[in-house]
Amino acid sequence: MKLCRFDANRIGVVTSSTALVDVSEAVPGWSDDPLSDHFVRLCRDLDTVRPAIEAAVANGQERALADVRLTAPVLNPGKLVAAAMNYEAHRAEMVDRADRSGLAWRMEFDVFLKAPSSIVGPCDAVELPMGTGQEIHHEGELAFVIGQGGRNIPAASALDHVFGYTGMIDVTVRGPGDRSRRKSYDTFSPTGPYLVTADELGDPQAQTIDLHVVHAGVDEQRQHVSTADMLVPVAEIVAYTSSIMTLHPGDVFCTGAPPGVGPIEPGDVMRLAISGIGSMTVDVRAREESA
Ligand code: MN
């Protein structure tokens, strides 16, 4: 199933490249309250809820995707875990930068936390703080959402704990200072367009990630990689992270930057496309600072 969220908290199943069916009423506890936990519980309970959702699709009326406003295909995750240094070619492009700033520890694979409040949807804009004095970069990444949580999950069964997959642009202020702060500005985690359930996506290490930036009217391919090139695959990211912190249904992960990270500026447009998931086009603009 290809799930989406749209308008005021509604949940849809995408049925073609142009249509969806609203299945909100088939989701137990569904509410338009932005603080609702119905989505987290759907992540936990998909196996039991799936027949009702499939019936809602079979009996429902298709609507045009063009007539709705897609929002991030996740809601109220307890945490947003990000992987660092998960492609060798990205490590290579960052070595000089890390040497200059004396931050060699940043060159090893690890996980860290971004603020979940940085998540926005595929129709929202990324808003750049203009006063950091640093470049702000795109990192187009495969993302995934936890279904059944747990701790000390073995890698061999870790993919059974993944609810589904989506895309995320992990926007990052380069330079000194804590990584969590530099990646947690509001709007710095555009996510989408859809959340494809794990059974439908298949092998998370057999996908293609492609990120273009239109800058000054010129369309540049910045990132293009196979997820087969991840140093630490999804199953091992889940296993490692769950050895540190208990994973809960609805927790969101991004899996690390492919090579080709680069600066974005107000007026740019980013397009992230991931095979098996879809593409989203995200505007970049300057953040309005309060006077
Ligand atoms: Mn990243």
pLDDT of residue 97 exceeding 90, the answer is no
Preceding omega of 193 cis (within 30 degrees of 0): yes
Q: How far is the CA of 81 from the centre of ligand 1 (A)?
A: 10
Output the pLDDT for position 283: 98
Look at 102 and 208; give whichever has higher pLDDT: 208
Is residue 99 very low, low, confident or very high in pLDDT (cuts 50, 70, 90)?
low
Q: How far is the CA of 254 from the centre of ligand 1 (A)?
A: 7
Q: How far is the CA of 287 from the centre of ligand 1 (A)?
A: 21
What mean pLDDT do residues 54-74 have? 98
Q: How far is the CA of 167 from the centre of ligand 1 (A)?
A: 12
Q: How far is the CA of 140 from the centre of ligand 1 (A)?
A: 8
Task: Show Cβ contacts of residue 96 under 8 Å, excluding neighbours closer than 6 positions.
Answer: none
Q: How far is the CA of 285 from the centre of ligand 1 (A)?
A: 20
pLDDT of residue 291 exceeding 60, the answer is no
Task: Show Cβ contacts of residue 26 under 8 Å, excluding neighbours closer than 6 positions.
Answer: 49, 52, 53, 55, 56
Q: How far is the CA of 275 from the centre of ligand 1 (A)?
A: 19
Q: How far is the CA of 2 from the centre of ligand 1 (A)?
A: 24
What mean pLDDT do residues 203-232 have? 97
What mean pLDDT do residues 235-255 have? 98
Q: How far is the CA of 66 from the centre of ligand 1 (A)?
A: 30
Burial class (CB in 10 A: 0-12, 13-18, 19+), 66: exposed
Q: How far is the CA of 83 from the centre of ligand 1 (A)?
A: 6
Look at 94 and 22; give whichever has higher pLDDT: 22
Nearest CA among 121, 127, 139, 257 for reference residue 192: 121
Q: How far is the CA of 35 from the centre of ligand 1 (A)?
A: 27
Strand 252-254 with 140-146, pairing = antiparallel
Q: How far is the CA of 40 from the centre of ligand 1 (A)?
A: 23
The mean pLDDT of the chain is 96
Listed residues: CB within 5 A of ion ligand 1? 139, 170, 257
Percent of the residues in the chain that have a pLDDT greater than 70, as a whole number: 97
pTM listed for this prediction? 0.97
Q: How far is the CA of 36 from the centre of ligand 1 (A)?
A: 28
**Beta pairing partners, 82:** 112, 254
Lookup result for tokens 């989701």? 27
CA distances from 225 to 197, 228, 231 (A): 22, 8, 13
Q: How far is the CA of 55 from the centre of ligand 1 (A)?
A: 38
Burial class (CB in 10 A: 0-12, 13-18, 19+), 99: exposed
Output the pLDDT for position 243: 98
What mean pLDDT do residues 156-164 have? 98
Coil vs helix vs strand at 148: coil
pLDDT of residue 104 exceeding 90, the answer is no
pLDDT of residue 98 exceeding 70, the answer is no
Output the pLDDT for position 107: 82
DSSP labels for 57-123? Answer: HHHSPEEEGGGS-EE-S--S-S-EEEEES-BHHHHHHHHHHHHHHT-GGGGS-EEEEE-GGGEE-TT
Q: How far is the CA of 216 from the centre of ligand 1 (A)?
A: 25
Look at 74 and 289; give whichever has higher pLDDT: 74
pLDDT of residue 142 exceeding 60, the answer is yes
Q: How far is the CA of 30 from the centre of ligand 1 (A)?
A: 32
What mean pLDDT do residues 150-154 have? 98
The secondary structure of the chain in percent helix, strand, coil, rounded to multiples of 5, reads 25, 35, 35
Q: How far is the CA of 85 from the centre of ligand 1 (A)?
A: 8
pLDDT of residue 101 exceeding 70, the answer is no
Output the pLDDT for position 252: 99
What mean pLDDT do residues 200-211 have? 98
